[in-house]
Structure 1
Amino acid sequence: MAEVITVSALNHYVKMLLDANDRLFDIALRGEIANFVQNARSGHCYFSLRDEASSVKAVMFRADARRLAFRPEEGMRVVVRCRATLYERDGAFQLYVNDMFPDGVGAAQLALEQLKAKLEQEGLFALEHKKPLPAFPKCIGVVTSKTGAALQDIRNVLTRRWPSVQLLLCPVTVQGFEAAQQVADAIRKLDQRKEVDEIIVARGGGSREDLWVFNAEVIARAAYRCKKPLISAIGHEIDYTILDFVADRRAPTPSAAAELAVPDREEQKRILLDLQQNIRKNMQNRLDLCYNGLEQYNFVLEQGPARQSWQKKHDLLQQAKDEIRQQMQTQQNDAELQLQHAAALAGSLNPYKVLARGYAMVTAANGAILDAEGLQPEKTIYVRSVSHRAKCRVEAVEEINENTQKF
């Protein structure tokens, strides 16, 4: 008799078998969506994938569902990337979907139109968000495959038009499941580099399916958040992707993107030569105007009336100059004479000049001149002449009046 086990043990055993199978861990599965439901609270998506004969339950968790570039709908044909396992609690065989892509032109176009309408409503295509390209960039960041022809086309154009520019490559895969996230990450990395002046996202020509990855929402939002000017160059002139609408400029080819990104060296040379010639012409015109004006003035001055008028004004000016000089000399002589009179008057009042005429003055020991009240008997005084001083003692002080005998 077989060993008796529990339902839980059976489900656990079957789940271990499925998880141990590498072929079931990462598979791409095509089918039609049925019974699609997205939980409003959790954001998880629950649905079934079916074909003509069978169906299988599937779940896509919120973190993966948020990266979808379209809105899944009932009956839509898709390709999913998933792993197959068992949900132990219910014993249900189901798929855990990591990514989902529309399958077929009709469904793909529907998804593209849905995403375009969503992003346009959010303002990602608005013209006011478009940044101008730098006139003379020093460093250009490029997001493309390092082995593709797009990179070589960009290099050739930059070398020809503006060889001094530096090219900084951030290599990515440009098709496949991982391409969208790689391109978005590359845009963010280059946007954070200070030396990068603008960014080119490029891919060479291919089928519509080859270019479809550049319709991914994650790339569109990375381009919208990019602070550096971004040029989209995907496929050929007739190819349009979501990135073209979000980018600041759209180029029909990678070569055209390189032409937009940098100026033309030869054209700049012609502009500089034209400026140089215009400057020389303007300078020569100004010199000619000045020369002609000078000649006109010389002609006027050489005429008789003009010379006589000038000579008359010159004579008047010289006469006024002579009169001013004469008045200044007269005023100076008067001032010198007044100064001499004042000096003579001041000299006559000098007490020491009085002494020179034979007079003397009586002073105290400190040199102060004594008047009659300062003379007292037995007081020592000094009699000062112009060149000597005599020390004397007062014996008596007598008052002199008209009746006093004079000697």
Structure 2
Amino acid sequence: MEPELVPAEPQPEQERFIAERASQTTPENPWPLHHLSQNIKTYIDKCPHTWVEGQIIELNKRARVTYLTLRDVNEEVSVPVTLFAQETARLTEELERGQRVVVQLKPDFWVKAGKLSMLGHGIRPVGLGTMLERIEKLRKQLASEGLFAEYHKKPLPVLPHRVGLITGRDSDAEKDVIRNARLRWPSVEFEVREVAVQGVHALRQVTEALRELDTHPQVDVIVIARGGGSLEDLLPFSEEALVRAVYAAQTPVVSAIGHEADSPLLDHVADLRASTPTDAGKRIVPELGEEKLRIAQARAFLKRAVEMKIDREAQGLAQVRSRPALAAPESTLLQREEDIDRLRNRALAAARSQLVRGADVVAQLRARVRALSPQQTLERGYALAQTADGTLVHDATALAPGTEVKVRVARGSFDASVTDTKESNV
């Protein structure tokens, strides 16, 4: 065992060297504890008064002091606050748990116990008018950015495979949505996420559930449902973080918050706004009876259309078949046969006539040729005289007596000898 340490006699503070800064302290030269506490208090006392907004989650009233725990409206952050009697005396109504307030805080460090607390001043409840003003300001800002524009809204599927439902734990809103949806379409499936729908946890849990369902591969539409309530209860559904998360979602989102008169900012950014959870259950799925009736009507319409088409085609076919070309096709053939015979006879007559005219022309040409031929001249009693070498005799004086000539007549020829020549007087 280690030997028991005997504390050294404390030296007078004025005889010790005290480091000026905390970073200058060492094991051999530490600060006295009260010096650290005093420095912390000096540092904290320099912090300015700060106005903050939060929600009261714990409240403990004493005779002269009221202790409360104030929690951030969106995050898991809380601080204890001390209010003295003069602060609560200014209030026109008593503070309550769950109430949203605005208070001016000043950090205070208690040196003796080393405890940090917040002293509150000017605490006041956040009134309805203030909250409405903030919501309206945020609504105008988001609208100017285009988050509420109609062209950004996605259409709901005609028949969703599975419906994502974000609602309170064992809430009437959950029962209303599921009951009314299944009354209309019994086979609809739900992927339910039960979350806080009011209070400081509502914003974070609803946003996380929305992101989870948005990535679910079988969820085709998401419904965010809550029953009616006060403006304070519905504030999470007007928070900017939730509105932007709904705008960024790829799955269509249906807002079913409160009653018809309630209108949180979620209603403006959602792809469909249902007046109540009951209305949401009716609008996310079709009604089975109506769909069956529509299918029956569509089938009857298609049947009539097909029958009318068949009737029209049958009538057209009957008209075509009634035409002479199809009713008595042989009549057309006979008519064409008669036309062919007539044309053949005309062609033969024309050919014969052409042959006759050609024969007459040939006969005429033959007669003309014969009339001009030497043979025809011979037929008239003329004769041709040729010398031995076959030269025609044109001039009798050119022949010497005794010259042998060949004489050709119309029929045959004979040889002759020139005895004498005479000169023509012509």
Q: Provide the C-alpha distance between the structure 1 equivalents of 2:238 and 2:324, rounded to a whole number of angstroms.
A: 82
CA change 1:278–1:25 in 2 (3 A) is same
Q: Provide the C-alpha distance between the structure 1 equivalents of 2:195 and 2:103, rounded to a whole number of angstroms.
A: 20
Of the three residues 53, 70, 77, the one matched with 1:28 is 70
CA change 1:14–1:303 in 2 (3 A) is closer
Which consecutive unaligned segments of at least 5 residues does structure 2 have? 1-11, 14-31, 44-57, 61-65, 73-80, 89-98, 342-426
Counterpart position of 2:185: 162
Larger-Rg structure: 2
Of the three residues 193, 208, 211, the one matched with 1:188 is 211
Number of aligned residue pairs: give it: 270
Letter of the 1:28 counterpart:
L
Q: How does 1:219-238 map to 2 (within 5 A)?
A: 219-238=242-261
* Deviation at residue 311 of structure 1 after TM alignment: 3.9
1:282 maps onto 2:314 in alignment: no
* Deviation at residue 49 of structure 1 after TM alignment: 11
* Deviation at residue 300 of structure 1 after TM alignment: 3.5
Contact 2:67 2:83 (8 Å CA) reproduced: no
Deviations 1:267-318 (A, max 9, x none): 21111111111111112112222222333344444999x5553342686999
Of the three residues 95, 99, 103, the one matched with 2:126 is 103
- Structure 2 length-normalised TM: 0.54
Counterpart position of 1:310: 332
Q: Provide the C-alpha distance between the structure 2 equivalents of 1:287 and 1:317, rounded to a whole number of angstroms.
A: 40
Counterpart position of 1:45: none
Counterpart position of 2:36: 8
Q: How does 1:50-129 map to 2 (within 5 A)?
A: 53-54=86-87, 79=101, 86=108, 95=118, 103-129=126-152
Q: Provide the C-alpha distance between the structure 2 equivalents of 1:117 and 1:202, rounded to a whole number of angstroms.
A: 24
Q: Provide the C-alpha distance between the structure 1 equivalents of 2:218 and 2:337, rounded to a whole number of angstroms.
A: 74
1:203 maps onto 2:203 in alignment: no
Counterpart position of 2:417: none
CA RMSD of aligned residues (A): 4.5
Instruction: Say which SS state the counterpart of residue 252 (structure 1) adopts.
Output: coil
**228-237 or 177-186, larger mean C-alpha shift:** 177-186
Q: Provide the C-alpha distance between the structure 2 equivalents of 1:167 and 1:195, rounded to a whole number of angstroms.
A: 10
Percent identity, please.
32
Q: Provide the C-alpha distance between the structure 2 equivalents of 1:197 and 1:266, rounded to a whole number of angstroms.
A: 22
Counterpart position of 1:255: 278
1:242 maps onto 2:265 in alignment: yes
Letter of the 2:332 counterpart:
W
Q: Provide the C-alpha distance between the structure 1 equivalents of 2:207 and 2:199, rounded to a whole number of angstroms.
A: 14
CA change 1:29–1:168 in 2 (3 A) is closer
Counterpart position of 2:411: none
CA change 1:257–1:303 in 2 (3 A) is closer
Q: Provide the C-alpha distance between the structure 2 equivalents of 1:166 and 1:121, rounded to a whole number of angstroms.
A: 37
Counterpart position of 1:405: none
Instruction: Say which SS state the counterpart of residue 163 (structure 1) adopts.
Output: coil
- Structure 1 length-normalised TM: 0.56
Q: Provide the C-alpha distance between the structure 2 equivalents of 1:200 and 1:189, rounded to a whole number of angstroms.
A: 13
Contact 2:59 2:69 (8 Å CA) reproduced: no
Which consecutive unaligned segments of at least 5 residues does structure 1 have? 16-20, 31-47, 56-76, 320-407
CA change 1:86–1:253 in 2 (3 A) is same
Contact 1:130 1:247 (8 Å CA) reproduced: yes
* Deviation at residue 252 of structure 1 after TM alignment: 0.3
